[in-house]
């Protein structure tokens, strides 16, 4: 076993002269028990011991919001849009995303907002001001939703950025003239929850899609949803949120949707810290009405505090939106920024799901956001940057039904128990340094009775895009070390049989 597993270091470092020292240290760790090496490998506390029974949280998967990109690419010719759907949702051809957040629109053609909206952001309301319903609208986003399900997506959430424009104070879906004030008129509270539940019911009846949750707000405490903005948005005071959630719960029960598995999630605040304030601002009845608490992790540091508030209630805790773009798509900085947030949200917040804000962005004006960029007006090319491949290091291998395990190095390493029989350990290690690093793993507590273990290593680095760099067959118990390339994300998949 020692010789074969030592090849991990050799294969993973193949072609890298600078990795010689790291490879030697890794091999030394393999050939000696963790307590026996004497300073050749990194210090004792750098050994990551994996205990498959130390489960932190069940994991539902990775996902994306469909707005606004699906409103654009869903209208492309079938070959183009199918290719993009494969890149996102197919587990073999792409990321294998398993969660979709579908946007229930509130905009309308002919309103003042449309000229200001960014391309694709005009998601029209199915319900018009004269009482008419037009279910032919939003065909493009609907196509992507159904394509995602066809490729294996399992969990669906419907979320609202704004009530229909004709229910608002300003008459606009972008927000209030005074953005710190509610934009939903009180006389339309009941109509708003009726609208949300009718959309969810229609999708269940017509397309056999059950939205497990309805998220009625998006970053509701924010004060940047102003009339004339370039996207939908609506401020809701905490007191109003309490009212809306109560009415939505009653409407779900009245229409028989609650018994069919539809429930409520909230509050999707833009910051972890505001998420703490919002949860504390909910009445006991409101908290009881929720089955899931959503938060966005763009800002804030109080992950442990939010976790300790939500987890004892038995509710799911989702990181329901994050996106980044501070580095060019071809730069590993983009992937490392994303990976750092994943590590914080799954190890410290202990989120049950992790959702990217729209995975496809318009690349026409040098936009660096998104897992991929395309020119929205033509869709003639697709730029799969390092964010895409770095995200694949997680999404391809840690799937719905996995368990996130305790990690002694939570800022750099995510550990999961995965696979159909939960006898697979997936470790994702991030090296954000500009020099080589070494990781040492002790998996001797993982199914020592197993007859064999296959260890595969995949890596995204400056020169690699989720490339398999090693495959080793060994026998338990398994302990190994491996050099990590500078500026890289490396995934280790150990399958026990």
The answer to whether residues 476 and 429 belong to one domain is yes
pLDDT value at position 34? 34
Residue matched to tokens 């294998």: 96
Of 118, 151, 139, the closest CA to residue 73 belongs to 139
pLDDT value at position 115? 82
Q: Say which CATH number the domain at 292 has.
A: 3.20.20.80
Q: Which residues contact 166 (CB under 8 A, 6 or more apart)?
A: 108, 125, 128, 129
Q: Is residue 378 part of a domain?
A: no
Q: Which residues contact 18 (CB under 8 A, 6 or more apart)?
A: 436
> How far lies 374's CA from each of 143, 157, 383, 418, in Å?
18, 25, 6, 33
Q: Would you say residue 132 has pLDDT above 70?
A: yes
Name the band, by pLDDT with cuts 50, 70 and 90, for residue 421.
Answer: confident
- pLDDT per residue over 99-122, tens digit each? 999 999 999 876 777 788 999 999
pLDDT value at position 116? 86
Burial of 312 (0-12, 13-18, 19+ CB in 10 A): exposed
pLDDT value at position 20? 53
Do the Cβ atoms of 455 and 471 come closer than 8 Å? Answer: yes
Q: Is residue 396 part of a domain?
A: no
pLDDT value at position 29? 40
Q: Would you say residue 13 has pLDDT above 90?
A: no
pLDDT value at position 94? 99
Q: Is residue 313 part of a domain?
A: yes
Number of independent structural domains in the chain: 2
Q: Would you say residue 9 has pLDDT above 80?
A: no
Name the band, by pLDDT with cuts 50, 70 and 90, for residue 35.
Answer: very low
The answer to whether residues 138 and 281 belong to one domain is yes
The answer to whether residues 118 and 245 belong to one domain is yes
The answer to whether residues 49 and 85 belong to one domain is no
Q: Would you say residue 379 has pLDDT above 60?
A: yes
Q: How far is 162 from 6, CA to CA, in rounded Å? A: 57
The answer to whether residues 126 and 255 belong to one domain is yes
pLDDT value at position 109? 72
Q: Is residue 83 part of a domain?
A: yes
Q: Is residue 338 part of a domain?
A: no
Do the Cβ atoms of 66 and 100 come closer than 8 Å? Answer: yes
pLDDT value at position 111? 73
The answer to whether residues 201 and 250 belong to one domain is yes
- pLDDT per residue over 333-374, tens digit each? 999 999 999 999 999 999 999 999 999 999 998 899 999 999
The answer to whether residues 306 and 444 belong to one domain is no
Last residue of one domain, picked from the residues 322, 338, 372: 322
Q: Would you say residue 41 has pLDDT above 50?
A: no
Last residue of one domain, picked from the residues 322, 337, 355: 322
- pLDDT per residue over 296-344, tens digit each? 999 999 999 999 999 999 999 999 999 999 999 999 999 999 999 999 9
Q: Is residue 374 part of a domain?
A: no
Residue matched to tokens 């229910």: 167
- pLDDT per residue over 80-105, tens digit each? 999 999 999 999 999 999 999 999 99
Q: Say which CATH number the domain at 436 has.
A: 2.60.40.1180
Last residue of one domain, picked from the residues 294, 322, 350: 322
Q: How far is 356 from 371, CA to CA, in rounded Å? A: 9
pLDDT value at position 16? 59
The answer to whether residues 14 and 29 belong to one domain is yes
Stretch 30-48: mean pLDDT = 42
Q: Is residue 203 part of a domain?
A: yes
- pLDDT per residue over 254-309, tens digit each? 999 999 999 999 999 999 999 999 999 999 999 999 999 999 999 999 999 999 99
The answer to whether residues 109 and 44 belong to one domain is no
The residue range of the domain holding 138 is: 60-322
pLDDT value at position 361? 97
Name the band, by pLDDT with cuts 50, 70 and 90, for residue 18.
Answer: low
% of the chain with per-residue pLDDT over 90: 87
The answer to whether residues 107 and 255 belong to one domain is yes
The answer to whether residues 150 and 260 belong to one domain is yes
For 223-243, letters b (16+ CB in 10 Å) and e give eebbbebebbbbbbebebbbb
Burial of 186 (0-12, 13-18, 19+ CB in 10 A): exposed
% of the chain with per-residue pLDDT over 70: 91
Stretch 449-475: mean pLDDT = 96
pLDDT value at position 365? 84
pLDDT value at position 114? 75
The answer to whether residues 81 and 213 belong to one domain is yes
- Quote the mean pLDDT of the chain: 92
Q: Is residue 358 part of a domain?
A: no
């Amino acid at each position: 076993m020692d010789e074969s597993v030592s090849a991990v270091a050799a294969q993973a470092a193949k072609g890298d002269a600078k990795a010689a020292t790291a490879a030697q240290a890794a091999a030394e760790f393999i050939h000696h028990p963790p307590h026996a090496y004497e300073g050749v490998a990194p210090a004792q506390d750098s050994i990551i011991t994996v205990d498959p029974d130390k489960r932190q949280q069940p994991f539902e998967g990775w996902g994306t919001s469909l707005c606004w990109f699906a409103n654009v690419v869903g209208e492309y010719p079938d070959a183009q849009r199918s290719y993009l759907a494969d890149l996102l949702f197919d587990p073999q051809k792409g990321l294998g995303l398993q969660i979709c957040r579908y946007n229930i629109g509130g905009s309308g053609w002919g309103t003042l907002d449309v000229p200001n909206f960014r391309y694709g952001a005009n998601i029209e309301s199915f319900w018009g001001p004269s009482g008419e319903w037009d279910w032919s609208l939003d065909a493009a986003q609907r196509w992507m939703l159904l394509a995602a399900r066809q490729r294996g997506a399992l969990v669906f959430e419907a979320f609202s950025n704004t009530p229909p424009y004709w229910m608002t104070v300003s008459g606009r879906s972008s927000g209030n003239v005074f953005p710190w004030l509610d934009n939903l008129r009180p006389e339309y509270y009941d109509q708003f929850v009726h609208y949300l539940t009718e959309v969810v019911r229609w999708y269940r009846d017509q397309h056999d899609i059950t939205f497990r949750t309805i998220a009625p707000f998006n970053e509701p405490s924010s004060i940047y949803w102003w009339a004339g903005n370039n996207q939908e948005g609506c401020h809701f005071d905490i007191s109003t949120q309490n009212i809306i959630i109560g009415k939505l719960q009653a409407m779900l029960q009245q229409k028989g949707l609650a018994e069919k598995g539809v429930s409520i999630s909230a509050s999707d605040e833009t910051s972890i810290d505001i998420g703490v304030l919002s949860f504390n601002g909910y009445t006991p009845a409101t908290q009881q009405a929720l089955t899931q608490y959503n938060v966005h992790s763009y800002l804030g540091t109080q992950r442990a505090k939010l976790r300790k508030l939500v987890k004892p209630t038995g509710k799911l805790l989702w990181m329901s939106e994050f996106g980044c773009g501070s580095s060019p798509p071809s730069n590993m900085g983009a992937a490392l920024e994303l990976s750092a947030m994943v590590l914080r949200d799954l190890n410290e917040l202990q989120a049950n799901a992790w959702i990217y804000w729209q995975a496809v962005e318009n690349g026409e004006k040098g936009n660096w956001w998104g897992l991929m960029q395309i020119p929205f007006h033509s869709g003639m090319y697709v730029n799969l940057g390092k964010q895409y491949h770095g995200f694949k290091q997680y999404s391809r291998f840690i799937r719905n039904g996995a368990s996130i395990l305790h990690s002694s190095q939570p800022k750099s390493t995510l550990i999961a128990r995965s696979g159909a029989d939960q006898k697979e350990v997936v470790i994702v290690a991030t090296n954000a340094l500009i020099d080589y690093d070494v990781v040492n793993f002790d998996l001797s507590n993982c199914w020592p009775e197993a007859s064999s273990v296959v260890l595969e290593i995949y890596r995204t680095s400056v020169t690699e895009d989720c490339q398999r760099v090693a495959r080793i067959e060994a026998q338990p118990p398994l302990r190994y070390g491996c050099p990590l390339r500078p500026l890289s994300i490396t995934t280790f998949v150990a399958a026990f049989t």
